[in-house]
Every structure is written in C-alpha cells, then in structure tokens.
Amino acid sequence: MTNLSVNINKVATIRNARGENVPDVQKFAIDCEEFGANGITVHPRPDERHITRKDVFLLRPLVKTEFNIEGFPSPEFLDLVFKTKPEQVTLVPDLPAQITSNSGWDVDTNLQFLTEIVERLRDAGIRTSIFVDPEPEIIKKAAATGADRVELYTKPYAALYPTNPEKAVKPYVEASIAAHKCGLGVNAGHDLNLTNLHFFYLNMPYLNEVSIGHALISDALYLGLKETIRLYKECLRPGLQSEAQ
C-alpha cells in the first residue's frame, strides 16, 4: 500500500491573503483525513507565508493519521519539531526565501550535519526522511546518516512524463531499488498529479508514500475536496488504467 499525504500549505496561502480564517486550515486537515488521506504534510517556512508555527501547534492534536513536517533543519525548525513531535520529519535543503523545493540534498557535502540532525530526531522518536534526487549514490549516502527514508524529488519525472513516461520513471525505479537495498523506505513528491501519478505508482517498487499539495489543492477547486482525494487514492491502486499504457 502506498499512502497519500496531503500537503495543505496552499490552503494556508489562500487564508493568509485575507488575514482571517477562511479557509480554515485545521478543518481542511480534518476533512482530508475523513475523505481518505493517510497523512497531512506541512512545510512551515521562516517568513510564515503559508503554514505558520501557530498552525503546526493547532494541527498536532487534530491530525489522527500521520503528521509530516517538512523543512530545513534550522534551530527554529527543530525547536518546532521537538515541541510538536510529528510522526515524520522530511529534511529539505531549501533556502529561507525559496518558493518551493527544487532539488535534493548534496548529502556528501552535508553528511555530518544531516547525521547529527537525524540522530537527534531518532532520539526523540521521530521518523526521518531526507529529500534527494533519484541517484543511487546519493541514496547510499543518505542511508549513512541513519535516516529511515528518502523522499525522491519527482519534478524531473513529471516534466518528462508527457513525452516519454518509461524514460521518465526509470531513474526512480533504480533509486527505489537502491534505497530498499540500503534499508530505507521510499517517499516521493513534487508535481505528481492525476495525470502522472498512477503510472509512477505502477512502476515504482517499495513506494511507501507520496506527498502531494499544489496539484491536489488546485484540482479540489474544480472537483471538490472529497472527490479529489478519492481520485488520487484511485491512482494508488493497481486497477486503474494509466493513460500511458
């Protein structure tokens, strides 16, 4: 089974545009779970342009599935994580002003730094995932940090999928096999959507979880949240016929 974690950052972005509480981020998370999501992902950034620290504290007792907090492991981020104790923390190499995550860690250069962070999170009983590009050598280095999982950066897959889906997915299959051999679980995220997700799922061995935000929230504007989550969950089942087949 591959779990669907819904990244709700964009809901907070819409709310923040008016400075009020519409849409209600906490209720949205509860509804996602009620409609079948297996987890909730948030990515609080230093400028709080979408999810805020207050949101994270409010969400923690409400999320009954898996709470996944993404972010660069700054002292402020780690303070938030240790106070809220999510089930999973995904470490990303983002700069403070970065619009979105657009590359994986240079794990070799940051090996000692990441190893120390992973050890602290493990001691706190928190599962760790390191955001990486789909390269077996990088994944081997990620395993050396003591992390539990890697999250594969899937924008290159999404970009190539319309013209050559087999070529697009090949490095991710190889990366997932490499991760499994190293004892790592496999997550994936970035630009996965209703068009490309099922083919990715069918071809990916050992895929534990996908984290989807922007596309899912955008689809919900047209289809409604309940129907959108149902369709994404269908993409994570063997029976659906992929457009690429």
Catalytic residue numbers read: 43, 70, 190
In whole angstroms, give the CA distance from residue 84 to residue 69: 10
Is there a contact between 150 and 184 (Cβ–Cβ < 8 Å)? Answer: yes
Residue 100 DSSP code: S
Please enumerate in sequence order all residues whose Cβ is within 8 A of that of 28, keeping only pairs 6 or more positions apart, or say none.
8, 11, 225
Gap between the terminal Cα atoms of the chain: 21
The residue to which tokens 């906490």 are assigned:
26
Between the alpha carbon of residue 117 and those of residues 90, 95, 144, 145, 146, the distances in Å are 11, 17, 13, 9, 10
Q: Which residues of 140-161 are buried (b: 16+ CB within 10 A; e: fewer)?
A: bbbbebebbbbbbbbbbbbebb
* Token pair listed for 132: 């990486």
Please enumerate in sequence order all residues whose Cβ is within 8 A of that of 157, keeping only pairs 6 or more positions apart, or say none.
134, 168, 169, 172, 191, 192, 196, 200
CB atoms within 10 A of CB 99: 9
